[in-house]
Amino acid sequence: MATAKDILKEAISLEPKEKAELVDCLITSLDKPDIELDELWAEEAESRLAAYKSGELKAVSLEEVLSKYK
């Protein structure tokens, strides 16, 4: 069986389009749905929305957020 190092050596020799397709397939294979995690994020989103609507949480503008990274 080929090792990861062997596969990498072979992948590096691919054409750019083939590399992009390989990367896309690998990333997609990592993105498996997790129903429990999705439910937790949905609950968090609902909680944050409720806090915003009740005035417990204020919004921050995109410009303000991006200014921290300039």
* pLDDT tens readout for residues 19-34: 999 999 999 998 888 9
Q: How confident is the model at residue 1 (pLDDT cuts 50, 70, 90)?
A: confident
What is the maximal distance between C-alpha atoms in the chain?
A: 59
Measured CA to CA, the distance from residue 26 to residue 30 in angstroms comes to 7
**pLDDT value at residue 33:** 85
What would the pLDDT profile of 10-64 be if each residue is shown by its tens digit? 999 999 999 999 999 999 998 888 999 999 999 999 999 999 999 999 999 999 9
For the chain, give every domain's residue range.
1-32, 35-67
Please tell me the predicted confidence (pLDDT) of residue 39.
96
